[in-house]
Amino acid sequence: MTRPVLLTGASGALGRQLAPALAAAGLTLRLTDIAPFPDALAANASFTRADLEDGVAILRLAEGCGTIVHFGGVSVERPFEEVLGPNIRGLYHIYEAARREGARVVFASSNHTIGFHERKVTLDADCPFRPDGFYGLSKAYGELMGRLYWDKHGVENVNLRIGSSFPRPVDSRMLSTWLSYADLCRLVLRCILAESTGHAVIWGASDNSRTWWRRDHRGRIGWAPADTADVFAAELEGKLSGNPVSERYQGGAFCAIEYSRKEPSPADPFAD
């Protein structure tokens, strides 16, 4: 019998998609967020309002859980001090709870961990991190924490480098990065149900022919996307931001926030 699943960030846009989908799959859910949960709760779900920075609260919520699906924290680019608490200290609390309970972590990482790779490059999951802001940096930290807790404590973790998960793509960039809500829900469910994962990284994108991302560890969980952004190509092709920095890099608009270089950084991050 599958142990309960703790879902953080349950009141956020993606958490509100995951909660009913995972409940419909028959999982016992413990939902939590710093904000109230705005939707009706399934019979097999409960909600507790909690702050990720409250380590004791996180430990209590995780008691007896087999998986922690961690979608909580700051989810957009913000100043460092706003990111620090929930995304750095809060993640530590998640992993300490997982270590104590012998639970797997499914971590909502981001394409912004690699945002300063140029769009002409196709990446595998083991590519170097090139975060495009403090948010992306915090997600790279999260993936490295997963690596540490796997190597040191045997805590299984799946790091989902989510592209752009919205009801539908809205611009040309999302023809490469879009992840449908249905593909997201199927992906997370497979992360929970897979027999074993080790430390894994999976590109969170639908089956988009314009993708910049290829090899990852999805074979470990038996997931393949069913949807594609290609059906929106005719209406979105050429719908650009007009910002040359945003259009050069995979991270898009996040790369342009407070960008102050006079010339683009080298494609090789260690080049002179």
Contact 47, 40 (CB under 8 A): no
140 within a domain of the structure (yes/no): yes
261 within a domain of the structure (yes/no): no
251 within a domain of the structure (yes/no): yes
Max Cα distance, the chain (Å): 59
Q: For residue 1, what pLDDT is reported?
A: 58
Sign of the alpha-carbon torsion through 98, 100, 101, 104: positive
Q: For residue 268, what pLDDT is reported?
A: 78
Q: Total domain count for the chain? A: 1
Q: For residue 224, what pLDDT is reported?
A: 98
Q: For residue 85, what pLDDT is reported?
A: 97
Q: For residue 265, what pLDDT is reported?
A: 86
Boundaries of domain holding 212: 5-256
Look up 135 and say whether it is catalytic: yes
C-alpha span between 124 and 122 (Å, rounded):
7
263 within a domain of the structure (yes/no): no
C-alpha span between 202 and 22 (Å, rounded):
19
Which residue is associated with the tokens 């956020």?
12
114 within a domain of the structure (yes/no): yes
Which residues on adjacent β-strands are paired with residue 118? Answer: 249
Catalytic residue among 135, 141, 149, 249: 135
Task: Give me the phi and psi of 246, to 5 degrees please.
Answer: -60, -40
* Residue among 258, 232, 167, 160 at smallest CA distance from 202: 160
Instruction: Give every residue of the chain whose pLDDT is below 50, as ranges.
Output: none
Contact 16, 29 (CB under 8 A): no
226 within a domain of the structure (yes/no): yes
270 within a domain of the structure (yes/no): no
205 within a domain of the structure (yes/no): yes
Task: Give me the phi and psi of 7, to 5 degrees please.
Answer: -115, 110
3-class DSSP assignment, residue 157: strand
CATH of the domain at 225: 3.40.50.720
Q: For residue 272, what pLDDT is reported?
A: 59
